[in-house]
Structure 1
Amino acid sequence: MTSLAKAEWGRDGILLVSRVLLMLLFLIFGLTKLTGFDETVTLFAHMDVPFPTLATLIAIAAEVGIGIALVAGLFTRPLAVLMAVYTCATSVLGHHYWSLAGSERFLAEIAFYKNICIVGGLLLLYLTGPGRYSLDQKLRFL
């Protein structure tokens, strides 16, 4: 009972830290896509991603835009689901380990399952909500 009470006491702070950590990867790589837009389009074209320019714009919007919103705890539940769908889609398009061999397969498999684990975290965020330290709470979007 004591450990449960301690967990509830720190819940909102832990949710804030969790939102930041979940989005850290997206923010870093989203900003890299933004500052290296042309290189990202070229990479996506090389990876046979459909409509590479549009895909780059979507990736930047999702990773930077939704990433910032989730860190801030704004529209958390719907954006967590949207980010989970985006992450699943990018896993299939960008980390198709099943069609690779050798070290490329190994690295793509790690990236694929890392993304699937992130989806799990995003679904938990959907269930828990953003916590007290969020714009949703301040604006009463919960």
Structure 2
Amino acid sequence: MRYVLLDKASNEVILLARLLLMVLFVLFGWDKLTDFSGTVGYMAGAGLPVPTLAAAVVVLMEFFVGLAIALGFCTRPLALLLALYTLGTALIGHHYWTMAGADRMANMVNFYKNIAIIGGLLLLCVTGPGRYSIDRR
């Protein structure tokens, strides 16, 4: 009874949650896509073995998968895939346990933000995209 308003607006809340979760991925994925050579350079600087391939995977996951989830296309499997990708980026890109000082704190914050995003993606994987999605059409 207490949650009647939320129950009535659950599809709208799921849409808002889906869009808010994907804002980060789509915006940063777009930046990486439009400056692909810079993205490759960053991957090389991070020590990844095949930086061009790594950059392509990052753009695919962040921009294209993020956009697909925002639109509600193949939401459940892509949310799970993006959760795994986000775990990988947390472990590879924010390994705070190997750092000290300000770098340690900044990377710890980003690591746990990734963990929180994974939680949202897993919840989206379980709940599905809601009514306002390509999946529901």
Partner in structure 2 of residue 83 of structure 1: 82
Question: How many residues were matched structurally?
Answer: 137
Give the Cα separation in 2 of the matches to 1:56 and 1:70: 20
Partner in structure 2 of residue 93 of structure 1: 92
RMSD: 0.8
Q: Deviations over 1:90-142 (max 9, x none)?
A: 1111111111111111111111110010000000001111100011111xxxx
Give the gaps of 5 or more residues in structure 2: none
Give the Cα separation in 2 of the matches to 1:50 and 1:8: 48
Partner in structure 1 of residue 103 of structure 2: 104
Measured after TM superposition, the shift of residue 38 of structure 1 is: 1.0
Measured after TM superposition, the shift of residue 43 of structure 1 is: 1.2
Give the Cα separation in 1 of the matches to 2:54 and 2:47: 11
Letter in 2 for 1:43: Y
Residues 1:36 and 2:30 aligned together:
no
Give the Cα separation in 1 of the matches to 2:107 and 2:36: 22
Q: Deviations over 1:39-87 (max 9, x none)?
A: 1111111111231111100000011111111011111100010000000
Taking structure 1 as the reference length, the TM-score comes to 0.93
Partner in structure 1 of residue 132 of structure 2: 133
SS where residue 69 of structure 2 aligns?
helix
Measured after TM superposition, the shift of residue 12 of structure 1 is: 0.3
Matches within 5 A, 1:12-27: 12-27=11-26
Give the Cα separation in 1 of the matches to 2:37 and 2:96: 25
Taking structure 2 as the reference length, the TM-score comes to 0.97
Letter in 2 for 1:26: F
